[in-house]
A and B are shown apart, each in its own frame.
Chain A
């Protein structure tokens, strides 16, 4: 089964065309990078792939669920939002427990183990509103990967992470790929993408193009 398939996907926000015929197919576990300038539509593309924004045209299929037409939410996906979508007045552990109670797939002990793995202290008493940017990002990553999703979308995952966190992120991405998941990473830095991604695309004028081999720097 194709994991992710976008065929001529179009989407407008307030009459402004953001996605203008995007095509992309992912058939096997791999890491795909998408780079582009601010406002080029990378985040909107992720949002559409999650079923959180309705496309105006084209065909978007995620794990066998056609997302584009009905605006349905595909099952088995995880998303790292930027900035991370967290409950500010709960602790990190309480954030994970709240989410885990929806599907009941993880116990409190599982949540604590995941926090330790991601580099956070499960016994931390501070509310998330008091967390640093990097801690929030780590918690956002934990929420995205907590129920073993088959596709993980990451919107600028290195934002706010310290060098140690970036190195850890690379190993988490590799781990996800090894477990059979597909990871779509959106960001600005081509150098960083080259380290973790199997394929890299550039988003420009609402379309995706394969990044050239001699392209360098950041966008």
Chain B
């Protein structure tokens, strides 16, 4: 069913709205960062597009990107399960796959589509940023902004050993950012894909309990802000690795902790679907009219 669902998603206008929203966000971010960097004392010739890209998409929750994550994460396919249950299209699909398999595939397809879509629009944004200003120039002012300073270059460090060390040592991520920006940017893009996949999966699970499209689409927003922004207001910054942008400023998280933080809800939501979806569907006890939408 994965192929069927992916075919359906890529023939859906909302999937393209999701991609275009991501690209527009990048373009808007370039303009915003242009002025921000001038305010920070960095002249335009002192930094490059990759740095601006990381300023937009590698930032923490106190940013435009952080604010719109739950909104665009549900655009691609967040309401598809709800729509299938409401219109009855779930039934011909279930007849061919089985009930549990249907829900699992639905969950997996949403996560795959959102992950791939995010990686796609971030790569387009990165490409635009590099076209706008190539090279690998970091603004000198950045050294003073970084709270704990840059770690020293380790003799013989390579991209591979850097990634391995960053998986358990927080301080290596700033090192990667400074010395191997493309490797760092690639990791950043992958983690953003994971973040959006995790957030959008909340809508899939909410579809099992909520019978209203707008509530389903709002649930990721509520959960995301409760668990991330809410924790910040409680001064629990250390609990929130966010994406990697937080690392190059604060160096509070290792790569593993970031991956675990975002993989954990994805795994938890998958377990909920695996264990409860089939029973939940049969317990709906819908009237014949509701059964057929």
Chain A residues close to B by CB (< 8 Å): 13-14, 39, 43-44, 47, 50-54, 71-73, 77-79, 81-83, 85-90, 94, 97-104, 143-144, 147, 155
Contact = CB atoms under 8 A, between A and B. Distances in A.
Contacts of B90: 85
Interface string B252-293: 000000000000000000000000001000100111100111
B98 A85 contact: no
A91 to B, nearest CB: 9
B157 to A, nearest CB: 47
Contacts, number: 94
B87 A102 contact: no
A143 B99 contact: no
Given A82-B292, A85-B293, A102 B97 contact: yes
B235 interface: no
8 contacts: A13-B286, A39-B288, A51-B99, A52-B99, A53-B291, A79-B92, A85-B89, A102-B97
B93 A102 contact: yes
Contact of A81 (B91, B96, B287): B91
B155 interface: no
B94 A73 contact: yes
B99 A99 contact: no
A103 B96 contact: yes
Given A71-B282, A99-B93, 7 more contacts: A13-B287, A43-B291, A73-B99, A82-B292, A85-B88, A87-B8, A102-B1
B12 interface: yes
A101 B92 contact: no
Contacts of A103: 96
A39 B287 CA distance: 9
Nearest to B91: A85
Contacts of B93: 99, 102
Interface string B1-17: 10111011001110000
A178 B97 CA distance: 27
A100 B291 CA distance: 23
Interface string B75-88: 00000000000011
B95 interface: yes
B91 A102 contact: no
A136 to B, nearest CB: 11
A83 B292 contact: yes
A98 B94 contact: no
Contacts of A82: 292
B87 A52 contact: no
Contacts of B99: 51-52, 71, 73
B194 to A, nearest CB: 26
Contacts of B278: 71
A73 B98 contact: yes
A186 to B, nearest CB: 11
Contacts of B292: 43, 81-83, 85, 155
